[in-house]
Amino acid sequence: MAEKLLEIKNLQQYFPVKGLKGTDGKPAVVKAVDGVTFDIYKGEVLGLVGESGCGKTTIGRCILRLVEPTGGEVLFNGIDVLKLKDEEMRKLRQEMQIVFQDPYGSLDPRKTVGQLIGRPLELHRYGTKEEIRKRTHELMELVGLRPEYYGRFPHEFSGGQRQRIGIARAIALNPQFVVCDEPVSALDVSIQAQVLNLMKDLQEKFNLTYLFISHDLRVVRYICDRVIVMYLGRIMEIADSNELYDRPVHPYTKALLSAIPEVTKERRERERVRLQGDVPSPINIPGGCRFHTRCPQRQEICKTTEPPVKDLGNGHFCVCHFA
Amino acid sequence: MEEYREKTLVIDEQKKITFWQTFFRNKAAILAAIIIVIFLLCAIFAPLIAPFPYDEQNLPEMMQAPSANHIFGTDEFGRDIFSRVIYGTRISLQVGFFSVAISVIIGTILGALAGYYGGIVDQIISGFIDIVSSFPVSLLAIAVVASLGRSLVNLIIVISMISWAGYARIIRGQVLTLKEWDFVEAARALGASNLRIIFKHVLPNAIAPIIVMSTLEIPKAIIVESTLSFLGLGVPPPTPSWGSIMSAGRAYIMQAPWITMSPGLAMMAIVFAFNLFGDALRDTLDPRLNKQI
């Protein structure tokens, strides 16, 4: 846990909403990511959890610059990714890759497996055709695809196999960093385990760094070293995986954790935290602590004052007045 | 490594075979293909097939009814109608293929740029599309040919100028939906340039409806060409075109109906064949219909 691979500083991503005015009369803006700061260390798997619409996926895409963030900095090995010119960015993309959630939409239906996996190699001039073919076969073996699938099309595969193709494509150029955007949430539970194990193996084998985006807390616990909990475009709590699961501090984290169905009697008897209501609209974020509208522990101060970031030691941070 | 490649090849072969197998399981498609091939051969080998030169006048034999010597009869100058129709095939097919090819290229590129980049690029191109599609086709064609002069090339230019807009509109719509797919994002994450994404990932997925549409547009182009020739705005004489043969025969339609009927029937046959072919192509390319054929 020594070296920082990525530093994300005050990242913001606002999307203007056409034809809608906010309460202050200015054009409405969806604050998908509203000032997020965190580091990603070399070789770790960092989980990013939260409800739908809290900005998890947007963070992943901002880091890879698939969308242009509104503000903030993303430093990759000290280089500000957001300031790079097109050509420099293209080169850097070898180091940062992404695995998508939807194994059906993320593969070009008109390309064969060989073409899909070989494409990144071609793009970055890996070598001659023969070398690319060889490397493609290596990659296929690595992710557990049989070599005779080389000439087949994505529609001939199951979701799990397609996700393997997506993973092979992402690691083809030996990246240092991979954004995994809910890579298993579209798969059957039995297949989830296989794909997760594959990702874990690859991570250990090549010392990859993952940003693992998910809403499935069990999956996150299984694969992640550290976890970030997000709510409405902000970070609520960061901690080591075990620490977070055993001693959650933020009321939101507690509520999320208590929603996991448990098998053991002891765990089932843990106190359940139930949240009231829905996530407020990211167009109209509540003042004070943005979680106060649904927080079971809210006090007067939560409605008026934004809580500070509290350092609880051992890399455990929490944004709550009562932490 | 060698054995992998062989297996790959086998699979690819199978793919191609199934496409054409599905296609030709449709009986109408076979008929259409045969008719189109016959016309293509006529156009290519016109000098070998035609029994007489198309411009050879033979006044003693003028306006003869179809016979063994002149199977479609002769016109008012004694020229062999069959030979003239055969040569006319050249003009019709050239206009059909080249005008469609040009408008597909222009329409696809402009449509793709509009759909992919959006914003001001889209507004400008879409504006052009709307303007072009609001012109009455034959009127614009008449105006342009009248000012540019009569020639085969001008005919092709005119028809392409009008019909690219339809392709552009379809491609734009396809690209608008396709660009939201994750595989486009994946290509960008891999470092592919915009042009590469458009041509290698987006367009190949958008091209199926264009293939069908262009097959259905070829007969339309042929009809427009004949219309213009009929009005005297087509290829200048003595080069025969179906429209000009009909136009010339119009005066003698009571005495010598074969002059107008022969090119008319030829045109009907080819338009019919291309329409059947297009329909069959659409059925084959649409995966939802595949099973029922």
Spacing of C-alpha B246 from chain mean position? 21
pLDDT of residue A266: 67
The verdict on A90 touching B (C-beta cutoff 8 Å) is yes
Among A90, A119, A147, beta carbon nearest to B4: A147
**Could A123 and B1 be called an inter-chain contact, meaning their C-beta atoms sit closer than 8 Å?**
no
Question: Which SS3 state, helix, strand or coil, does residue B119 take?
Answer: helix
pTM: 0.77
Nearest CA in chain A to B191: A90
Give tens-digit pLDDT for B35-52: 889 888 888 887 777 777
Domain residue extents for chain A = 4-43+54-89+226-319
Task: Give percent above pLDDT 70 in chain B.
Answer: 91
Question: Which SS3 state, helix, strand or coil, does residue B128 take?
Answer: helix
pLDDT of residue B15: 55
pLDDT of residue B10: 46
Residue A256: strand pairing partners: none
Q: How far is it, in rounded angstroms, from Cα A159 to Cα A154?
A: 9
**Could A90 and B191 be called an inter-chain contact, meaning their C-beta atoms sit closer than 8 Å?**
yes
Is it the case that residue B9 has pLDDT exceeding 50?
no
pLDDT of residue B182: 86
Shortest alpha-carbon distance between residue B206 and chain A (Å)? 11
The verdict on B177 touching A (C-beta cutoff 8 Å) is no
Is it the case that residue B124 has pLDDT exceeding 90?
yes
Among A93, A107, A147, beta carbon nearest to B191: A93
The verdict on B11 touching A (C-beta cutoff 8 Å) is yes
Task: Please state, rounded to an integer, the average pLDDT across all residues of chain B.
Answer: 81
The verdict on A60 touching B (C-beta cutoff 8 Å) is no
Residues of B within 8 A of A147 (CB-CB) are: 4, 7
Q: What is the DSSP string of A117-148?
A: HHHHHHHTT-S-HHHHHHHHHHHHHHTT--GG
Q: DSSP label at B60?
A: G
- Which helix (H) or strand (E) covers residue A231, if one does? strand A226-231
Among A98, A109, A152, beta carbon nearest to B189: A98
ipTM exceeding 0.85, yes/no: no
Is it the case that residue B292 has pLDDT exceeding 50?
no
Among A105, A137, A150, beta carbon nearest to B182: A105
Write b or e for each residue in A51-81: b if 16 or more Cβ atoms lie within 10 A of its Cβ, otherwise e.
eeebbbbbbbbbbbbbbebbebebbbeeeeb
The verdict on B120 touching A (C-beta cutoff 8 Å) is no
Write b or e for each residue in B82-105: b if 16 or more Cβ atoms lie within 10 A of its Cβ, otherwise e.
bbbbbbbbbbbbbbbbbbbebbbe
Selected for mutation to probe chain B from A108, A117, A169, A173 (highest B CB count within 10 Å) is A108
Pairing of strands A234-240, A226-231: antiparallel
Give long-range contacts, CB 8 A cutoff, 24+ apart: B153-156: B155/B95, B155/B99, B155/B225, B155/B228, B155/B234, B155/B235, B156/B94, B156/B95, B156/B98, B156/B99, B156/B102
Between B290 and B181, the more confident residue is B181
Is it the case that residue B3 has pLDDT exceeding 90?
no
pLDDT of residue B247: 82
Q: How is residue B100 written in tokens?
A: 């469609």
Task: Give percent above pLDDT 90 in chain B.
Answer: 10
Which of B42-51, B117-126, B221-230, B259-268 is predicted with the least confidence, judged by mean pLDDT? Answer: B42-51
Asked whether the beta carbons of A160 and A174 are under 8 A apart, the reply is: no
The verdict on B139 touching A (C-beta cutoff 8 Å) is no
Instruction: Check residue A199 and give left, alpha or beta (phi > 0: left; psi -120 to 50: alpha).
Output: alpha
The verdict on B190 touching A (C-beta cutoff 8 Å) is yes
- Tell me the pLDDT band of B1, cut-offs 50, 70 and 90: very low
Give tens-digit pLDDT for B237-288: 778 888 888 888 888 878 778 878 888 888 898 888 988 888 888 877 765 5
Task: Report the CATH number at residue B145.
Answer: 1.10.3720.10
Give tens-digit pLDDT for B150-171: 888 888 888 888 888 889 999 9
Shortest alpha-carbon distance between residue B165 and chain A (Å)? 26
Does the CA dihedral A237-A95-A9-A24 come out positive or negative? negative
Pick out chain A residues at pLDDT < 50.
Answer: none
**Gyration radius of chain A over CA positions:** 21
Is it the case that residue B222 has pLDDT exceeding 90?
no
Among B1, B8, B189, beta carbon nearest to A93: B189
Mean pLDDT of B24-42: 85
Shortest alpha-carbon distance between residue A91 and chain B (Å)? 7
CATH of A4-43+54-89+226-319, one of 3.40.50.300, 3.40.50.720, 3.20.20.70, 3.40.50.2000: 3.40.50.300
Overall number of domains in chain B = 1
Shortest alpha-carbon distance between residue A95 and chain B (Å)? 10
Q: Which of A280, A222, A219, A283 is nearest to A252 (CA)?
A: A280
Asked whether the beta carbons of A171 and A178 are under 8 A apart, the reply is: yes
Nearest CA in chain B to A64: B189
pLDDT of residue B290: 45
Domain hosting residue B115, numbered range? 2-292
- Tell me the pLDDT band of B14, cut-offs 50, 70 and 90: low
Among B7, B8, B191, beta carbon nearest to A123: B191
Give tens-digit pLDDT for A208-235: 999 999 988 888 888 999 999 998 888 9
pLDDT of residue B293: 35
Mean pLDDT of B119-124: 90
Between B212 and A271, the more confident residue is B212
Give tens-digit pLDDT for A66-112: 888 888 888 988 888 888 888 888 888 888 999 998 888 888 888 88
